[in-house]
Amino acid sequence: MPEYRQDLITGRRVIIASERTGRPDRFSFNNKGGLLPRDLPGYQEDCPFCYGNEKETPEEVAAWREGSHNDPDWQVRVVPNRFPMVELKGGAERFLASPGMGFERMNGYGIHEVIVETPEHNRHPGEFSAGQMKIVLEAYQHRLQVLSDYENLKYAQLFRNHLRQAGASVEHPHSQLVGLPFVPGEIQQELEGAYRFYLKEGICPYCYILEEEKNREERVIYQDAYFLALMPFAARLPFETWILPRKHISSFTGVFSEELTKLAEVFTEMLSRFNRLLNHPPYNLYLHTAPFHVGSLPNFHWHLEFLPRLTTEAGFEIGTGVYVNVTLPEEAAKFIKEGEVSTI
């Protein structure tokens, strides 16, 4: 029997119809002859993100290196996107909370950066050392901090697309960061829902979910003193996973170095497990964090959402906003949790 579930925070409904397609082990990704990162060369001559090709990108805005600034021996590099979806031109016009009568076109004001995560063309983050991953997380944090200093930027979306089936157009391992002059709809909905919960129940809904899920166990795939990785109760897609900090902290810019070290471990371990158990699936990964200039929020935890793209959203999902998930989150969690521990 299919069932409806509703996300506690956003109110988003999903249909869990696990009889439709079957068990988690049927989801091993069929790449249909496409190349996996490890099958690619370590260096590709025409890749602007490869070590040695640094002059092919716009001038870097930040880099992490062992040596001096002019030393090409970098570990992580941040550059402006050559084909930006937004640009720091023209100035931010006023962005109204609700639309008016008009058909106004507004300047595409913003910043679009690429975080090149490694000099190696073929190294997926699931194979990073925890040290390399920590530098990537430091780069995320640093750039978020820099963008948050722009008065006219209200939010920045950090995200990572892996493989063409998840919308990636560049092979070389990278993340992207887009600074925007408004708080985007999904974040707004999440914050508003979390605020309603907070006012009604008197506690942060993320603190509540963390406590409940820890006790229920069935959807938790990893936990330590700092983080919980879990498949959410109302998962939209098979194997949707969230990484949540146990500590109540609303902005990723406020995470301590020691916590980033731990996050690097969880994150690499999780990616590695998914690669092994689902045969290197395409995925989208993004950060939800507090908007800029709002201080610390009582109703929100920054967190990562990881969405393997193993099924295709179709007319029902787009028309209704209700996702049909063909895997029980509890079964998906069991499958991932009980996989042999990988050797990173």
Residues in contact with a copy of itself, total (CB under 8 A)? 79
- Nearest partner of 155 among 289, 326, 7, judged by Cα: 289
Min dist. Cβ of residue 5 to a copy of itself (A): 6
The residues in 305-344 that bind a copy of itself, with binding defined as CB under 8 A, are 305, 307, 311-322, 324
Report whether 284 contacts 159 (CB < 8 A).
yes
Which secondary structure element, helix H or strand E, spans residue 337, and what is its range?
A: helix 329-337
DSSP string, 207-267: HHHHHHHHHH-TTEEEE-SSEEEE--TT-SSTT-EEEEESS----GGG--HHHHHHHHHHH
Min dist. Cβ of residue 204 to a copy of itself (A): 13
Report whether 330 contacts 219 (CB < 8 A).
yes
Interface with a copy of itself, residue 103, by CB under 8 A: yes
Interface with a copy of itself, residue 19, by CB under 8 A: yes
Identified binder of a copy of itself from the candidate list 28, 30, 107, 279, rule CB under 8 A: 107
Interface with a copy of itself, residue 4, by CB under 8 A: yes
Interface with a copy of itself, residue 208, by CB under 8 A: yes
The size of the chain, in residues, is 344
Identified binder of a copy of itself from the candidate list 83, 94, 295, 341, rule CB under 8 A: 83
Report the residue number, 24 or 282, with the smaller CB distance to a copy of itself.
282
Identified binder of a copy of itself from the candidate list 79, 187, 228, 229, rule CB under 8 A: 187
The residues in 220-259 that bind a copy of itself, with binding defined as CB under 8 A, are 233
C-alpha span between 36 and 280 (Å, rounded): 7
Min dist. Cβ of residue 141 to a copy of itself (A): 17
Would you call 142 a catalytic residue per the annotation? no
Residue type, 207: C
Interface with a copy of itself, residue 287, by CB under 8 A: yes
Contacts of 328 (CB under 8 A, 6+ apart): 16, 18
Exactly one of 112, 162, 172, 174 is catalytic; name it.
Answer: 174
Active-site residues, by number, are 174
